Amino acid sequence: MITTTKKGDHRHYGAREMPYRFSTVEQLLADFWTDVESIRRKGRTLSLFTPKRWELLKYVHGHPVRSVRALSMQLKRDYRRVCDDVEALAAAGLLERSGRMVRADYDAIETSFRFDHLRQ
């Protein structure tokens, strides 16, 4: 004799299984797309911090530079790639540009992710 236990309504986040209160198909789809967008936003934030960008941030923190070209020469990296990284980090508020000068005037970067939408 085989016995099974019904797990009830649930959803998966990676290896975690979370309870889910099913109400309608429309709500299920809306919750699904909300979760997808949340994961995309987190992915964009996390993808900002590549190893090369961490290296660049650490260097600029200790050595404000007079230009992106000078920074690319100090890091021994392609100018265009460094320019793209500086633009991305400046857009995120992690680098300050004043004229051609590039600076990182802070001692820490703190970030947090809220998972309130996961609680039922």
CATH of the domain at 88: 1.10.10.10
Taking only the tens place, the pLDDT of each residue in 27-39 is: 888 887 787 776 6
For residues 66 and 29, membership in a common domain is answered with: no
2 has pLDDT over 70: no
52 has pLDDT over 50: yes
Q: Are 113 and 46 in contact (CB under 8 A)?
A: no
Segments forming the whole domain that contains residue 75: 51-103
* Mean pLDDT within 17-28: 83
For residues 27 and 64, membership in a common domain is answered with: no
Q: pTM above the 0.75 mark?
A: no
